[in-house]
């Protein structure tokens, strides 16, 4: 399900929205949740899982740039 609301404007995302936002599969998002690498919340009495947008950002790591670096000897 694709929504017209851009994920950046929402505080809580579904597994599907989180996967789309990070360009990952839904199973990868669920795996991160199971492993404890991604905090998510289940709505009481429902199977729906919601993930805070800020939690998704914790999965991102900065890349290093090789521009201007001297080769190791």
In a domain, 52, yes or no: yes
Angle at the Cα of 23 from the Cα atoms of 7 and 30, rounded to 5 degrees: 85
In a domain, 67, yes or no: no
In a domain, 34, yes or no: yes
Predicted pLDDT of residue 68: 62
What is the residue range of 13's domain?
A: 7-57
pTM of the complete model: 0.71
In a domain, 14, yes or no: yes
Predicted pLDDT of residue 65: 74
Predicted pLDDT of residue 17: 96
Asked if residue 45 has pLDDT above 50, the reply is: yes
Q: What is the mean pLDDT of residues 34-43?
A: 95
CB 29 within 8 A of CB 15: yes
In total, how many domains does the chain have? Answer: 1
Asked if residue 7 has pLDDT above 50, the reply is: no
In a domain, 49, yes or no: yes
DSSP code for 60: -
Exposed / middle / buried, residue 28 (Cβ in 10 Å: 0-12, 13-18, 19+): middle
Q: What is the mean pLDDT of residues 7-27?
A: 89
Predicted pLDDT of residue 42: 94
CATH number at residue 52: 1.10.10
Helix segments in the chain, DSSP class H: 15-22, 26-34, 53-57
């Amino acid at each position: 399900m694709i929504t017209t609301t851009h994920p950046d404007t929402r505080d809580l995302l579904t597994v599907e929205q989180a996967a789309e936002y990070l360009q990952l599969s839904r199973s990868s998002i669920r795996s991160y949740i199971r492993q404890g690498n991604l905090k998510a919340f289940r709505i009481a009495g429902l199977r729906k899982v919601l993930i805070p947008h800020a939690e998704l950002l914790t999965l991102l790591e900065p890349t290093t740039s090789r521009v201007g670096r001297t080769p190791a000897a």
